[in-house]
Amino acid sequence: MIWKTTTYAGWGRALSATGEIARPERARALETILAEGLAPAVGMRRSYGDASLNNGGRVIDMTRLDRMLGFDPATGILEVEAGARIGEIAAAFAPRGWLPAVMPGTGFATVGGCIAQDVHGKNHHHVGSFCQHVVSLRLRAATGEVEVLPDTDLFRATAGGLGQTGVILSAKLQLIPCKGDVMIVTEQRVDGWDEFLTMLDGSTATYTVGWIDATATGTALGRGILEEGETGSGLVPKRVKFRKVPMDAPNFALAGPIVRAFNGAYFRRVPATGRTVVKPISDFFFPLDKIHDWNRLYGRRGFHQFQCVVPIASSPALRSMLEAIAASGLASPLAVLKRMGPGRAGYLSFPMEGYTLAVDFPNRPEARDLIRRLEAMTAAADGRLYFAKDSLARGAEVRAMYPELDDWRRVVDTTDPGRQLLTDMVRRLNLRSAQ
Length of the chain: 435
22 bridge partner residues: 60
Measured CA to CA, the distance from residue 25 to residue 37 in angstroms comes to 18
pLDDT tens string 42-52: 999 999 999 99
Residue 237 predicted with pLDDT over 80: no
Measured CA to CA, the distance from residue 135 to residue 122 in angstroms comes to 21
Question: What is the helix (H) or strand (E) element at residue 265, kind and residue range?
Answer: helix 256-268
Measured CA to CA, the distance from residue 174 to residue 115 in angstroms comes to 13
Greater pLDDT, 22 or 434:
22
User: Would strands 4-9 and 16-22 be described as parallel, antiparallel, or unpaired?
Assistant: antiparallel
pLDDT tens string 155-183: 999 999 999 999 999 999 999 999 998 99
Where in the chain are all domains bearing CATH 3.30.70.2520?
A: 182-398
- Average pLDDT estimate for 132-143: 97
Greater pLDDT, 140 or 258:
140
Q: Residue 206: how many CB atoms within 10 A of its CB?
A: 17
The phi, psi pair for 401, rounded to 5°, reads -80, -15
Residue 234 predicted with pLDDT over 90: no
Is residue 96 helix, strand or coil? helix
Residue 239 predicted with pLDDT over 80: no
Measured CA to CA, the distance from residue 218 to residue 136 in angstroms comes to 49
Measured CA to CA, the distance from residue 31 to residue 37 in angstroms comes to 10
CATH of 182-398, one of 3.30.70.2520, 3.40.50.2300, 3.40.50.80, 3.30.470.10: 3.30.70.2520
Measured CA to CA, the distance from residue 67 to residue 46 in angstroms comes to 20
Q: First vs last Cα of the chain: how many Å apart?
A: 38
Q: With contact defined as beta carbons under 8 Å apart, do 302 and 364 qualify?
A: no
Measured CA to CA, the distance from residue 138 to residue 149 in angstroms comes to 9
**The residue type at 315:** S
Q: Specify the DSSP class assigned to residue 161.
A: S
User: What is the gyration radius of the CA atoms in the chain, in angstroms?
Assistant: 21
- Angle at which helix 315-328 crosses helix 193-202, to 10 degrees, equals 130
Beta strands in 329-414, from DSSP E residues, in sequence order: 335-340, 354-362, 384-385
CATH topology of domain 68-179: 3.30.465
Question: What is the helix (H) or strand (E) element at residue 232, kind and residue range?
Answer: strand 224-232
| Residues with Cβ within 8 Å of residue 417, at least 6 apart in sequence | 142
Measured CA to CA, the distance from residue 407 to residue 350 in angstroms comes to 15
- Picking from 5, 11, 16, the residue whose alpha carbon sits closest to that of residue 58 is 5
- Angle at which helix 315-328 crosses helix 365-380, to 10 degrees, equals 170
Q: What is the structure's pLDDT at 256?
A: 85
Q: What is the structure's pLDDT at 2?
A: 86
Measured CA to CA, the distance from residue 350 to residue 117 in angstroms comes to 8
Please, how many CA atoms are within 13 Å of residue 362, restricted to the half-sphere of its CB? 23
Question: What is the helix (H) or strand (E) element at residue 91, kind and residue range?
Answer: helix 86-93
Q: Which of 47-56, 138-147, 244-253, 343-352 has the lowest mean pLDDT?
A: 244-253
Where in the chain are all domains bearing CATH 3.30.465.10?
A: 68-179
CA torsion through residues 228, 234, 238, 243, sign:
positive
Q: With contact defined as beta carbons under 8 Å apart, do 280 and 183 qualify?
A: yes
pLDDT tens string 179-227: 998 999 999 999 999 999 999 999 999 999 999 999 999 999 999 999 9
Is residue 309 helix, strand or coil? strand
